[in-house]
Amino acid sequence: MNYIKLNDGNRIPAVGFGVLFIPEGKETYEATLTALRAGYRHIDTAAGYFNEASVGKAVRDSGIPREEIFVTSKIWIQDHGYEQAKVGIARSLRKLDLGYIDLYLIHQPYGDILGTWRAMEEAKAAGQLRSIGVSNMTPKFYREFIPQFKTKPAVNQMEFNPFFQQKELRKLMEADDVKLEAWYPLGHGDAKLLQQPEIVRLAEKYGKNTGQIILRFEYQEGVVTLPKSTNEGRIKGNIDLFNFALTEAEMNTLRALDTGKGAFDPEAPGIEQMLRENYVITD
Asked if residue 184 binds ligand A2P (CB under 6 A), the reply is: yes
Cross-strand pairs, 164: 161
Stretch that binds ligand A2P, among 45-53, 100-108, 186-194, 270-278 (CB under 6 A): 186-194
List the x/- string, 188-217, binding to ligand A2P by CB under 6 A. xx----x--------------xxxx-----
For residues 62 and 229, which CB has a smaller minimum distance to ligand A2P in the complex? 229
Strand 11-13 with 17-18, pairing: unpaired
Tell me, what amino acid is at 248?
E
Following DSSP, what letter does each residue of 84-104 receive, concatenated? HHHHHHHHHHHHH-SSSEEEE
Q: Verify whether residue 279 is a known catalytic residue.
A: no
For residues 194 and 281, which CB has a smaller minimum distance to ligand A2P in the complex? 194
Strand 3-5 with 11-13, pairing: antiparallel
Cross-strand pairs, 3: 13
From candidates 67, 127, 192, 231, binder to ligand A2P by CB under 6 A:
231
Report the b/e string of 180-215 with b at 16+ CB within 10 A: bbbbbbbbeeeeebbebeebeebbeebebbbbbbbb
Closest distance to ligand A2P from the beta carbon of 188 (Å)? 4
Closest distance to ligand A2P from the beta carbon of 196 (Å)? 12
Of these residues, 3, 29, 40, 49, which one is catalytic?
A: 49
- List residues near ligand A2P by CB under 6 A: 184-189, 194, 209-212, 227-231, 234, 237-238
